[in-house]
Copies of this chain bind each other. A is one copy, B any other.
Amino acid sequence: MSENNTTDKKVVESRSESAPDSLFSKDRLYTVIFGTNTPAGKLFDLVLICSIFISVVIVIIDSVSSASASYGTLLIALEWLFTILFTIEYGLRIYCSPNRLGYARSFYGIIDLLAILPTYLSLFFGSGTYLIVIRLLRVLRIFRILKLIRYLQEANLLLRAIIASRRKVMVFFATVFVLAVIFGSLMFVIEGPENGFTSIPMSIYWTIVTITTVGYGDITPHTTAGQVLASLVMLTGYSIIAVPTGILTAEINHEMVLDRERIVCSNCHTSGHERNAKFCRNCGVSLEIT
């Protein structure tokens, strides 16, 4: 998706150089809606993100029964307003996109469609309780905001560290899951249905609640053997919590060292400068000019 994005931007740039004359041309619209490096494009993105935020807040407020009772009509009106705005936006995106099917099939294209569908569907099927399930997908639209932070160097560093450690973390989670099954089964046998451990799945749920140190207390061991095993589960959870931390810390540390290596002096080619360094630590030449 990142590559696709880069080509998009190139297209935007080449276009905006050649044909910035017509005000509402396809190209100009494309630059504003899809681009992020013109003032109009930035403004459009900001307004859109705010609209998404407000529409999500409306869904959240609507779920509060007292608010829904008092301001029900207003909330429905606002929901329709945003649905129509998002529909126009979706239409414009389809219209101005050079590769229409490509956009419609892309991740954000599908999310954009799914974000407006439920309100229209509620016309035909009534605003039933189950329909909220689909309406909820609009919340996923927040992820479009993450596009912004994609440009933040920090988020990139974190992402690289997480990607580099994904296999180790998967090995870790497989182990946690196996442990949860074994401990859960043992607890089911030891404690039994009379103490709330009604089935092995329920016991596995309890084990995950315990091993992650969440500890709701909705199900707790009552027999001595159960409490001894529970203590073992807790201490296991307490110690293996260290594993993902260790993996990620090592990766982040390594990425930060690499980051510093990347700042190279244009004069003497010395690397390893601090991120906020302004002058080469070897020859004193300004690093900013580079």
Contact = CB atoms under 8 A, between A and B. Distances in A.
| Chain A: interface size category | 35 or more
Interface stretch (A13-21, A40-48, A101-109, A150-158): A150-158
A99 interface: no
Contacts of A201: 60, 63-64, 224, 227
Interface in A145-195: 145-146, 149, 152, 154-155, 157-158, 161-162, 167-169, 171-176, 178, 181-182, 185-186, 188-189, 192-193
* Copy total for this chain: 4
A253 B174 CA distance: 22
A243 B168 CA distance: 15
A243 to B, nearest CB: 6
Contacts of A268: none
A247 B234 CA distance: 19
The 9 closest A-B CB pairs, nearest first, are: A214-B215, A216-B217, A63-B200, A246-B248, A246-B249, A217-B217, A242-B245, A64-B199, A212-B238
